[in-house]
């Protein structure tokens, strides 16, 4: 890949690797009938090639859009914004699980808590002798051989140190992997750790192209219906674009449709807002 169209960090191999490993992990759960290790080697290679070595895909764009489609579409996890944010730096490291925090109580083994707990709270709860039976039941679910045969339990989890207290680290992917270690009495786990290095935390990130298309199309429908919504939708689009050069490139070059007057009008209004806020936006190329 010779030309850098998007900001340089969007191409960062370490960010790509985090996304690739996540996709490899999730695809094994989505395709449980595929048990042949040689087949998975081929699939893993194909996934790694999505970024720039697959002639049927648009380099970069299709990789991050596809990653978002799986992580958000299947798993309801908006990881793409954090993995691609310029203001989050990522490292792979072994961490103590008792310093982590679950982001939800809606996983196996946490229903007894009224809100998402710290892992240390969960460890203490399961150490209580009165909770031994519950522990056995949850372990039977999480240690099911059929599940462990499908997943890769040793894959790194994803953690972001995004709490203002400077201590709490939120598990953004890998809750069940952490839960298994709690129940086994293990104290450490490998993680991709994301740390904020500047404000705002989510900045110069990838915004899924389809999100921009859907917002624009829904906005056009509402505007054409009542004529009163244009200002509101222009503001929504501007908010999606203002902190992301990649989003502005996608909006100008991929989202707008050639020869559609309302697209041109919305573009001009968004461009005006960008100029008023000293934000550069490419000239529209009107791809259809």
- Phi/psi of residue 18, each to 5°? -60, -45
Residue 284: is its pLDDT beyond 80?
Answer: no
Give me the pLDDT at residue 121, please: 97
pTM of the entire predicted model? 0.92
Please indicate whether residue 203 or residue 221 has the higher confidence score (pLDDT).
Answer: 203
pLDDT band at 287 (very low <50, low <70, confident <90, very high): very low
Write out pLDDT tens, residues 26-44. Answer: 999 999 999 899 999 999 9
Whole-number Cα distances in Å, 282 to 11, 25, 146, 248: 20, 37, 51, 7
Whether 158 and 173 have beta carbons less than 8 Å apart is answered as: yes
Write out pLDDT tens, residues 126-166. Answer: 999 999 999 999 999 999 998 888 888 999 999 998 656 66
Give me the pLDDT at residue 258, please: 79
Q: Are strands 157-161 and 169-173 parallel, antiparallel or unpaired?
A: antiparallel
Among 261, 245, 247, 255, smallest CA distance to 286 is for: 255
CA distance 253 to 262: 16
Mean pLDDT of 220-237: 84
Please name each of the domains of the chain with its CATH number: 8-83 (no CATH), 88-196 (3.90.1530), 209-276 (no CATH)
pLDDT band at 285 (very low <50, low <70, confident <90, very high): low
């Amino acid at each position: 890949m010779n030309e850098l169209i998007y900001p340089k960090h969007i191409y960062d191999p370490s960010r790509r690797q985090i996304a690739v490993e996540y996709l490899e992990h999730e695809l094994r759960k989505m395709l449980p009938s595929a048990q042949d290790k040689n087949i998975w080697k081929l699939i893993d290679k194909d996934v790694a090639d999505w970024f720039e070595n697959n002639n049927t895909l648009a380099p970069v764009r299709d990789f991050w859009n596809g990653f978002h489609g799986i992580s958000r579409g299947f798993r309801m996890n908006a990881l793409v914004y954090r993995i691609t944010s310029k203001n989050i730096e990522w490292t792979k490291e072994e961490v103590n699980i008792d310093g982590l925090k679950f982001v939800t109580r809606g996983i196996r083994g946490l229903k007894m808590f009224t809100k998402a707990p710290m892992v240390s709270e969960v460890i203490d709860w399961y150490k209580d002798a009165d909770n031994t039976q519950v522990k056995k039941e949850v372990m039977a679910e999480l240690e099911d051989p059929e599940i462990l045969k499908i997943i890769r339990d040793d894959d790194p989890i994803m953690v972001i140190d995004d709490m203002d207290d400077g201590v709490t680290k939120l598990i953004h992917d890998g809750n069940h992997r952490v839960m298994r270690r709690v129940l086994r009495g293990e104290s450490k786990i490998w993680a991709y750790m994301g740390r904020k290095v500047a404000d705002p935390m989510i900045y110069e990130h990838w915004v899924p192209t389809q999100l921009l298309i859907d917002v624009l199309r829904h906005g056009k429908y509402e505007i054409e219906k009542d004529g009163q919504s244009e200002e509101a939708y222009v503001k929504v689009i501007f908010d999606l674009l203002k902190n992301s050069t990649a989003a502005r490139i996608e909006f100008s070059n991929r989202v707008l449709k050639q020869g559609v007057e309302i697209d041109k009008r919305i573009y001009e209004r968004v461009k005006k807002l960008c100029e008023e806020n000293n934000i550069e936006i490419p000239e529209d190329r009107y791809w259809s």
